[in-house]
Structure 1
C-alpha cells in the first residue's frame, strides 16, 4: 500500500525533479502499454503539448516497468523518484478509497454526468484535495468508456456461478464479487494474460474490447460478458509531482490542460464507434459474447447497495465523493424525464 510517510522523500529528491523540468523533459511512467489506446492516449496528449509549447515542453511516456513497477507509480511520483505517471484512479483505489467514485463505481451514472461532475461540479476539486496529501497534481486527460463485464471460462447463469472464482478486478465491484464467494485479485496489466492463461485466475475484467483484444484475452477465454456493471465511464490522467508542476510556467501549465481537454474530446468522438469492429472480430473466433442475465444483474445491484453503505461508513472520503456525484446526477433527472422519447422510437 502507498504510504503518506513517503512525502518527506520528495524533499530529498527535489533536485532530481528540478533538473528534469529545467530540461523541459518530464518522464512519465505509464501503467498501461503504449500499444493499447490507454497508453497511446498519453502519447497523443504529449504530442499536442509539445506542439502547443513549440517543443519547449516534452512529456516522454514509458511503458510499464521501464522506470518503476506499475503498482509503485503513485509512490514514485509522490516521492519525486519519477516526475509523472499515467493511469486511471482505479490503480490507486487501495491507497485512495475515494478513487472508487471515479469511474470504478458499480452501476455508475453516464459519461455525460460523470464528466460534468468532474469539471463543472465538485469532482476534480475533491480528488485533488485528496492527492494534495501525496504531493501530486492530477490532470484528467483521456476518456475511457464503460468497460465490458469481463472474460470468463465459465458460463454465468446465476450469481452462484461466481462462488469460488478467482477474478482479476479493481475498484468497489471487487467487494460485490467477494460477498458472492469470489476471490478478487488486483493485478497490473502486464500480468493479466499469463495469469488467466495459466489458470492462476478464472476470470478477468480489464477494459473495453479494443484494449482487451489487443491483450490477447480472446485467445484464452470462452465467454466475454457485458455490461460492465462494475465500472462506469472514467478518465485517465497525468499524475505529476507537485514540485514539478509548480516549476512549469503558466503558459506550459495551460498547454497541458488545453491538450488534455482536447484529448478527452477526441476520445469521446472515436472510442465507442471503434469497438464495433473489434467485437465483430472477437465473435468471429471461439469466444462467445454474452450479456449477464437480467436476474444476475439485479442480484449484483442488490449486493452493491449493501456494499456502498458499508463503503460510505468505512471511508468518509468515498462517502463525500459518492454523495456529491449522486447529487450532481440528480440535476439531470427532470431534464431526462422531459426529453425521454416513447419506447417505440428506441427500438
Structure 2
C-alpha cells in the first residue's frame, strides 16, 4: 500500500474511534454529616470501592445531611426519584417500613457478625428487599455498626422506677419497649441531639458509638454514660437506590456495586471497636461516669421488648418473616459458638 493510502486509512479509522464513555455520577443524600466519624466514613469507603471496582465508570457523589433534603426525608426523596440514592441508618424508616426496625436495632439481638452473615448469606437481604420493592427502592446493606452504649443520662438509673417519666431520644423497637416501661421517647435528628439534651428538653439520649458521641460533645450535656447497649447490639446502615436508577445500570455494574457494598460491610466489621475504648477512656478523664444498667432494669426492658416484637410481627408479614428467619439463624450461630467454647 502506498504511504499516502496508509495515512488516509489511519485517518479514516480514527474518525470511527468511539469517545470514552462518561462516568455515571450518582448523587447520594446522606442522613449523616458527610465527615461524621465512622458513620460518614463508611459511605466514603463505599463510594471509593465502587469507583475502584467499576474503573471510575460509576461514581457516587456524597452529600451530607441537609445538603439536598432534610435527613428524615431521604427515604421519600429517593423513593420518588427526586434524589437517585440515599444513605441511612435503616431504623429511621421504621414507621413506613416496619422491618427496618428489626435490622436497624433489635434489642437483645445478635452481634454484628451474626447479623451481617444472616443479611448476606442467610436470606435476610432478600426478605428485606420485599418491603423496599413497595417504595421503588433497591436495598444495599453496606455497613454494620458495633454495639452501642445504652445512652447518656442526666440522672442515675438505679431501678425500673427511674424509667417512668423519663424523656429520651431513642427510636425503633427500643423506643416502644421503653414506652411500655413508662418512659416517653422520641426520634430527634443527630444534629439536634446535643441541644435537646443540654437544654433539658429531654432527660436522656442514645446516639451512636462513644467516639461519635464524643465528637458531638454529648459528654457536656449529661454526666452518666450507661452500658450495655441493650437496644442495639448490632445495626445496619444502608445505601438505597431508586429502582429506575438501579435498573439503568448494566448487570455487571449492579454486581460490581453489590460487591463494593459487601466489601464496605467487611470494612466496618473490622474498624469499629478499638477506637471506642480510646474514646471511653477520654470521656472518663473528662469526668463522665460510666455505669452499667442494673439487671432489674434490663429484665424489664427484655420483657417489654418481647412484647413489642410479637406485636410488630402480628402487624406486618415481612417483619414476621424476617424475625423468624433471623431467630433461626441466631439459634444455629449460638449452637455453633457453644460447640466451639474452650472453657
Deviation by residue 1:24-55 (Cα, 9 ceiling, x = unmatched): 11000000112222112101210221122222
Q: Distance in 1 between matches of 2:230 and 2:67?
A: 33
Instruction: Report deviation, 1:218.
Output: 1.0
Q: Distance in 1 between matches of 2:121 and 2:263?
A: 16
Q: Which runs of 4+ in 1 moved over 3 A?
A: none
Instruction: Report deviation, 1:334.
Output: 2.8
Listed as ranges, the matches of 1:38-187 within 5 Å are 38-187=39-188
3-state SS of 2:296 partner: helix
Partner of 1:26: 26
Report the count of equivalent residues: 322
Q: Distance in 2 between matches of 1:234 and 1:177?
A: 19
Q: Distance in 1 between matches of 2:59 and 2:306?
A: 45
Deviation by residue 1:323-342 (Cα, 9 ceiling, x = unmatched): 11101112223322221232
TM-score (norm 1): 0.89
Instruction: Report deviation, 1:112.
Output: 2.5
Instruction: Report deviation, 1:240.
Output: 0.4
Listed as ranges, the matches of 1:246-257 within 5 Å are 246-257=247-258
Q: Distance in 1 between matches of 2:256 and 2:340?
A: 37
Q: Distance in 1 between matches of 2:46 and 2:77?
A: 22
Partner of 1:3: none
3-state SS of 2:200 partner: coil
3-state SS of 1:331 partner: helix
Q: Distance in 2 between matches of 1:253 and 1:145?
A: 27
Partner of 1:4: none
Q: Per the alignment, do residues 22 and 317 of structure 1 end up closer, same or farther by CA in structure 2, a change over 3 Å counting?
A: farther
Q: Distance in 1 between matches of 2:48 and 2:306?
A: 43
Q: Distance in 1 between matches of 2:264 and 2:249?
A: 20
3-state SS of 1:240 partner: strand
3-state SS of 1:221 partner: coil
Deviation by residue 1:291-323 (Cα, 9 ceiling, x = unmatched): 111221122112222222222223333222111
What is the CA RMSD across the aligned residues, in angstroms? 1.6
Deviation by residue 1:216-264 (Cα, 9 ceiling, x = unmatched): 1111111111111011212211100011011112332222122222221
Deviation by residue 1:128-180 (Cα, 9 ceiling, x = unmatched): 01100100001111121111100100100011111111111111011111012
Q: Is the 8 A contact 1:103 1:232 kept in 2?
A: no
Q: Is the 8 A contact 2:23 2:56 kept in 1?
A: no
Deviation by residue 1:186-218 (Cα, 9 ceiling, x = unmatched): 111111111111211111111111111111111
Q: Is the 8 A contact 1:27 1:62 kept in 2?
A: yes
3-state SS of 2:172 partner: coil
3-state SS of 1:29 partner: strand
Q: Is the 8 A contact 2:141 2:236 kept in 1?
A: yes
Consecutive unaligned residues of structure 2, counting only runs of 5 or more, are 1-20
Q: Distance in 1 between matches of 2:267 and 2:322?
A: 27
Partner of 1:209: 210
Instruction: Report deviation, 1:22.
Output: 7.6
Q: Per the alignment, do residues 23 and 56 of structure 1 end up closer, same or farther by CA in structure 2, a change over 3 Å counting?
A: closer
Larger Rg over CA atoms: 2
Partner of 2:238: 237
Q: Distance in 2 between matches of 1:282 and 1:174?
A: 26
